[in-house]
Amino acid sequence: MPGPLLRVRDLTTVFSSSRRTITAVDQVSFEIRAGQTFALVGESGSGKSVTALSVIRLLPEAASLTSGSVHFEGRDLLRLPEREMRDIRGSGISMIFQEPMTSLNPVVRVGKQISEVLIRHRGMTRAQARKHVLDLLEAVRIPRPPQTIDMYAHELSGGMKQRVMVAIALACEPRLLIADEPTTALDVTIQAQVLELINDLQRQFGMAILFITHDLAVVKQVADHVAVMKDGVIVEQSSNEVFFSSPQHAYSWDLFAALPAMEKRGKPLLERNGQALQKPAVEDVTGDSVLRVRDLAVYFPIRKGLFKRTVGHVKAVDGVSLDIPPGQTVALVGESGSGKTTVGKGILRLVQPTLGEVTYLGMPILELDRSRLMEQRANLQIVFQDPYSSMNPRMLVGSIIEEGIKALNVISDAQARRQRVLELLEQVGLDRDAHLRYPHEFSGGQRQRICIARALAVNPKIIVCDEPTSALDVSVQAQILDLLNHLQEQYAISYLFITHNMSVVAYFADRVAVMYQGRIVEQGEVEQVLTDPQHEYTKQLLGAVLRLVPPLRSS
Amino acid sequence: MFPGKPVFLLTDILVFGLVLCIVMFFLYAMRKPHLRQPWQQVVRSRAGVISMIVLSVYVGIALLDSVHFHPVLENQSAASGHVQHSGEVISLFDRMVSGLRESGEKTYSAPFAAYLYAKETVQQDDGTKQRVYPRLAWGASHLEHPETQKTGDVLRLGLKGALKAVVLWGALVLLLGWVLSLRAGRAFRVTLGILFSGRSRIPWRTVVVTLGIVLLVLMTGAEWATKYHVLGTDKVGEDVLYQALKSIRTGVVIGTLTTLLMLPFAVLFGIMAGYFRGWVDDVIQYLYTTLNSIPGVLLIAAAVLMLNVYMSKHAEQFASLTQRADLRLLFLCLILGLTSWTGLCRLLRAETLKLREVDFIQAATAFGVGRVQTIFRHILPNVMHIVLITLVLDFSGLVLAEAVLSYINIGVDPTMNSWGNMINSARLEMAREPVVWWSLAASLFFMFTLVLFANLFADVVRDALDPRLSR
């Protein structure tokens, strides 16, 4: 049996600035055999991308390799001169990145971007290269290659762009493909297609893959061998079967525990042997819902010409009807562009709906004037997806939380207001002294807690959660979901939970509404919709979701 | 005691108002970590501290030159009990360099010269007339035989100035070391060691070295200036060094006040256009596209000509020539500001358009926070970095613009000292034979130094404040 294709020994990469040095990758060793898929799993900041960049020597300037060796087909990559390294990067090892939107040059036709590689590394003529590009586009299953070859990146969808990236990576038939979160930015249905494509191409070309991801379900699907990284160290390495049946390291168990799933409904994710949650029972749902949405429509006008005449409409939301019962969670799922965020913002009148009615406890929200609407603002609140942009970086956390209380005059006494801020911070699991710090001093999960505290500050009855966990790691997601569950239990708040993550829906929601192209195609109880979908689109969506049954702890 | 009756020129008031604002901003910023942090980065960069030291010399001179008064007339009888003030307006800076100001010659003389640059018919002791280069009235007048004594004298004076500089520098370094060791609670010798090793966070070694060089130049220059015309004299015999130094105020005033005057328009209109969209945006956009399509020089020329007509018709409104010149300077700032606010306005509009869709603004809307409050609490603080960057970047451009405008006679008043006026008059001097080069050289050198260090400073400030560059 020949030696491994890639052998990494004791690789250590250090980031140094004038103030301190951080060891991003610490004594990492692994081997990849020809034709094998090796998955590197870990949460953000665990050093998995830096490991890959160290292997092909594309580290940023501040980083340096301090020890270790990388052997590719017997050659030590760390000792090669840059000229030879360039030949290896393209023809021996290629890479696909996470973000297909920014990896392609927007002003060069996609065909040319692929043929550049062929001309540079394989010495083809222009005509030969063009012919080969057509074959490659065919291989990555892009429809109508002769048209696509002359398109620009912006004319392609996200999935198509990622296919083009795969085509570029495959152009020189590399022996090793490094895929850095290649499907993270894509919708589930597209993700399934791209994974299948990579899998097929691997068999066809017989290449090895170093697959970097944070998603255990994807790992289960694609990997032969799994390595779990935490804080720059590989804590566990084993084959797919062994890892998913009996993981060894405590951290791997924590990762599995944090995964939301249908089986864990009603129990907190992180506390072991936790008490079952006491949710108000689902009674007559349509009878006394807190929020009724009927035929909600949001059209964005398309304006043209000197006088900005409206020539048409983009129907972002086109006739949505929903009911949110008290103390319950209604999940709104759909792929990107389906209009689910616009529904959330339309309900709060952050964008002005074109048609329809929204009734909060009998009050027509859309017909209120400015001052009447102001009174109702306290009852309807929102938590955003991106915890980095949802707080003013120039304000103290205390004043951020206080802002709503002040603006809506919930508590008029300054002393009492400050007291309330401290209570809120404690409630969402942060230190009291956090109120004197700035948002940038907190991690993503902590920021999301602050945002929840801000929304809670005005005692809302309904919180619209717009993908509150999709920018977070699984373990942090679990903390936030536990917190939201806990708050719901305590205050009987209703959530409109907007998400694209089916396993979060399965764990967290009571009812679910599936959105597709601005309309709700199916809604009902979570168990019913997920186990017995009626609409064609729901079936397709659920079919694309990668299922992962967490292993059972034997101890 | 103030040496006379104070005069408050409009630009003086504005300049000191600006200084007050800057001081207050820094006192405020010191308490806010997110505001303090980028300025710490400025102070910690070498280019930052060097340019700050050089700029502070310029600004210091400009500020001294901005305290105006009517001086007390000399030779008064003490018995009258009534103090007479002179009609002319001078500044504190004029008083400090009164030697230079009052040391007029007849006409051109070269730097460090003892003789005039032009021949004159002089009556000899024996009654015959001869065409010679006469001795200067003031420059090198203390020497018997300038031909033999001058080199030695210049060297001696230079050495004296250098010695003074070294003593002063030593005293300053010791003072700095003492203050720093007190603040850090370290032994004095340890602090001095850190100071000179260059290992400190703030590059103290660079500070100390720059300070040394600046002091050396200033002190030797000052020493020479007591006996010579270091940069020669101009056509009417006025000291060129004095003119160049006086021009500093003009340059600094134009560079800062113009931006200050246009700032309210740019900030208000830019944010309003971006935040309210709709018809407000349309009106503001049409306004600045219209303004932008009028050639700036033409607009400035027209405005300055109008002002000239006004001033000659209402001569009685102006108490002195200085006041007239000052009004023209302010008017120039105003009109330059009017033509230059559009750039910043456009930048701020774009940034606000981006910001208003950001989640934290949406969150504020969800809390029912009012529009005015949203603008002042959420948008303005988040576009301030753009304002500051534009302010420092525009400064050097405006100093150069003054030079160009004065060159084509639509700049500051011809009686006001400015680099542009100096360059304008040098136009004829360059055509003269033998050529008179020192006026042009002096103005270029002083302007170049200011603009160079202002640009260096602007670069550092941009690096520190622009969120896209840091992190």
CA distance A455 to chain B (A): 9
Amino acid, res. B101 = R
B281 vs A340: CA distance, rounded Å: 30
Instruction: Please tell me which residue of chain A has the smallest CA distance to B359.
Output: A390
What proportion of chain A, given as a percentage, has pLDDT over 70? 95
Interface test with B, best of A394, A405, A436 (most B CBs within 10 A): A394
B328 vs B402: CA distance, rounded Å: 12
pLDDT score of B348: 95
CA distance A381 to chain B (A): 7
How far is CA B414 from each of CA A116, A182, B101, B321, B324, rounded to the nearest angstrom? 63, 69, 18, 11, 11
Q: At residue A397, does pLDDT exceed 70?
A: yes
| From B33, B368, B373, residue closest to A438, measured CB to CB | B33
| Closest-CA residue to A542 (of A334, A258, A332) | A334
Number of Cβ atoms within 10 Å of the Cβ of B262? 24
Whether A395 sits inside 8 A of B367 (CB atoms) is: no
pLDDT score of A102: 78
Interface test with B, best of A307, A391, A392 (most B CBs within 10 A): A392
Whether A438 sits inside 8 A of B34 (CB atoms) is: yes
Q: At residue A375, does pLDDT exceed 60?
A: yes
Residues A78-108 have pLDDT tens digits of: 888 888 888 888 788 988 887 777 788 888 8
Whether A407 sits inside 8 A of B377 (CB atoms) is: no
Whether A403 sits inside 8 A of B370 (CB atoms) is: no
Q: Which of residues 442-461 of A touch B (CB under 8 A)?
A: 451, 454, 458
Whether B360 sits inside 8 A of A391 (CB atoms) is: yes
Token digits of residue A222: 């694609």
Q: Could you say which DSSP state residue A3 is in?
A: P
pLDDT score of B445: 93
Instruction: Please tell me which residue of chain B has the smallest CA distance to A404.
Output: B367
Residues B58-97 have pLDDT tens digits of: 999 999 999 988 888 776 655 556 777 887 888 888 888 8
Place A456 in a pLDDT band, splitting at 50, 70 and 90.
Answer: very high
CA distance B359 to chain A (A): 4
Distant-in-sequence contacts of B60-63, Cβ < 8 A, 24+ apart: B61/B93, B61/B245, B61/B248, B61/B249, B62/B15, B62/B248, B62/B249, B62/B251, B62/B252, B62/B253, B63/B15, B63/B16, B63/B19
Count contacts between A and B (CB, < 8 Å).
58
Question: Got the DSSP string for B149-210?
Answer: HHHHHHHHHHHHHHHHHHHHHHHHHHHHHHHHHHHHT--HHHHHHHHHHT-SSS-HHHHHHH
Contacts of B382 in chain A (CB under 8 A): 392-394
CA distance B241 to chain A (A): 44
pLDDT score of A272: 55
Token digits of residue B265: 């328009």
Contact A215, A501 (CB under 8 A): no
CA angle B363, B364, B370 (to 5 degrees): 155
ipTM for the predicted complex comes to: 0.80
pLDDT (mean) for A344-371: 89
Q: Starting at the edge strand that comes first in sequence, how are the strands of the sheet with A233-239 ordered?
A: A93-96, A176-180, A208-213, A37-41, A225-230, A233-239
| From B360, B362, B368, residue closest to A408, measured CB to CB | B368
Whether A394 sits inside 8 A of B362 (CB atoms) is: no
Beta bridge partners of B339: none
Whether B368 sits inside 8 A of A345 (CB atoms) is: no
pLDDT score of A277: 62
Q: At residue A286, does pLDDT exceed 50?
A: no
Q: At residue A552, does pLDDT exceed 70?
A: no
Q: Does A348 touch chain B (CB under 8 A)?
A: yes
Element holding A225 (H helix, E strand): strand A225-230
Interface test with A, best of B279, B359, B386, B471 (most A CBs within 10 A): B359
Contact A140, A133 (CB under 8 A): no
For residue B469, report the phi and psi dihedrals to the nearest 5 degrees: -85, -40
Which residues in chain B land under pLDDT 70?
1-2, 75-81, 467-471
pLDDT score of A284: 44
Q: Does A310 touch chain B (CB under 8 A)?
A: no
The torsion of the CA quartet B382, B386, B388, B391, rounded to 10 degrees, works out to: -150
Whether B364 sits inside 8 A of A403 (CB atoms) is: yes
Whether B366 sits inside 8 A of A393 (CB atoms) is: no
Whether B362 sits inside 8 A of A382 (CB atoms) is: yes
Positive or negative, the CA dihedral A507, A509, A510, A513 is: negative
Whether A384 sits inside 8 A of B363 (CB atoms) is: yes
Whether B359 sits inside 8 A of A394 (CB atoms) is: no
A37 vs A206: CA distance, rounded Å: 11
Whether B366 sits inside 8 A of A403 (CB atoms) is: no
Name every residue in B having a CB less than 8 A away from some CB of A. Answer: 33-34, 358-360, 362-370, 373, 377-378, 381-382
Which residue's entry shows tokens 């409104």?
B317
* DSSP 3-state of B67: coil
pLDDT (mean) for A522-544: 90
CA distance A35 to chain B (A): 39
Whether B364 sits inside 8 A of A380 (CB atoms) is: no
Which residue's entry shows tokens 């990668």?
A546
Contacts of B364 in chain A (CB under 8 A): 403, 407
Contacts of B377 in chain A (CB under 8 A): 392, 395, 403
In sequence order, what are the residues at sequence separation of 6 or more whose Cβ sits closer than 8 angstroms to the Cβ of residue B85?
B4, B5, B70, B71, B72, B73
pLDDT score of A100: 72
Place A285 in a pLDDT band, splitting at 50, 70 and 90.
Answer: very low
Q: Does A20 touch chain B (CB under 8 A)?
A: no
CA distance B380 to chain A (A): 10
Whether B366 sits inside 8 A of A348 (CB atoms) is: yes
Q: Starting at the edge strand that comes first in sequence, how are the strands of the sheet with A21-32 ordered?
A: A21-32, A6-16, A63-72, A75-76
| Buried b or exposed e, range A91-111, using 16+ CB within 10 angstroms | bbbbbbbbbbeebbeeeebbb
Residues A325-337 have pLDDT tens digits of: 988 999 999 888 8
Whether A384 sits inside 8 A of B34 (CB atoms) is: no
Mind spelling out the 3-state secondary structure of A22-44?
EEEEEEEEEEECCCCEEEEECCC
Q: Does A386 touch chain B (CB under 8 A)?
A: yes
Q: How many helices (H) and strands (E) does chain A have?
A: 20, 20
Place A454 in a pLDDT band, splitting at 50, 70 and 90.
Answer: very high
Asked if the peptide bond before residue B434 counts as cis, ω within 30 degrees of 0, the response is yes
* DSSP 3-state of A520: strand
Positive or negative, the CA dihedral B9, B11, B15, B20 is: positive
Instruction: Please tell me which residue of chain A has the smallest CA distance to B355.
Output: A389
How far is CA B377 from each of CA A371, A394, B116, B280, B371, rounded to the nearest angstrom? 21, 9, 65, 21, 10
The domain limits of chain B are 248-447
pLDDT score of A554: 53
**A37-41 and A208-213 strand pairing:** parallel
* B58 CB-contact burial (10 Å; exposed 0-12 / middle 13-18 / buried 19+): buried
Q: Does A481 touch chain B (CB under 8 A)?
A: no
Contact A384, A466 (CB under 8 A): yes
Whether B381 sits inside 8 A of A392 (CB atoms) is: yes
Contact A427, A488 (CB under 8 A): no
pLDDT score of A224: 92
Q: Does A357 touch chain B (CB under 8 A)?
A: no
Contacts of B381 in chain A (CB under 8 A): 392, 394
| Buried b or exposed e, range B209-240, using 16+ CB within 10 angstroms | ebbbebbbeebbebbbbebbbbbbbbbebbbb
- Count how many residues are written for chain B: 471
| From B33, B366, B373, residue closest to A382, measured CB to CB | B366
Q: Does A408 touch chain B (CB under 8 A)?
A: yes
pLDDT score of B467: 66
pLDDT score of A210: 94
In angstroms, the first-to-last Cα distance of chain A is 38
A200 vs A4: CA distance, rounded Å: 22
Contact B89, B70 (CB under 8 A): yes
Whether A407 sits inside 8 A of B34 (CB atoms) is: no
* A370 CB-contact burial (10 Å; exposed 0-12 / middle 13-18 / buried 19+): exposed
Residues B135-182 have pLDDT tens digits of: 888 888 888 888 888 888 899 999 999 999 999 999 999 998 888 888
Whether B360 sits inside 8 A of A438 (CB atoms) is: no
pLDDT score of A279: 58
CA distance B358 to chain A (A): 6
CA distance A466 to chain B (A): 11
Residues A140-180 have pLDDT tens digits of: 888 888 888 888 888 888 888 888 888 888 888 889 999 98
Interface test with A, best of B360, B371, B385, B471 (most A CBs within 10 A): B360
Element holding A455 (H helix, E strand): helix A444-456
A365 vs A356: CA distance, rounded Å: 11
What proportion of chain A, given as a percentage, has pLDDT over 90? 32
Contacts of A392 in chain B (CB under 8 A): 360, 377-378, 381-382
CA distance B379 to chain A (A): 9
Which CATH topology does B248-447 take? MetI-like fold (1.10.3720)
Residues B303-351 have pLDDT tens digits of: 888 888 988 888 888 777 888 888 889 989 998 888 888 889 999 999 9
CA distance B36 to chain A (A): 12
For residue B110, report the phi and psi dihedrals to the nearest 5 degrees: -75, 165
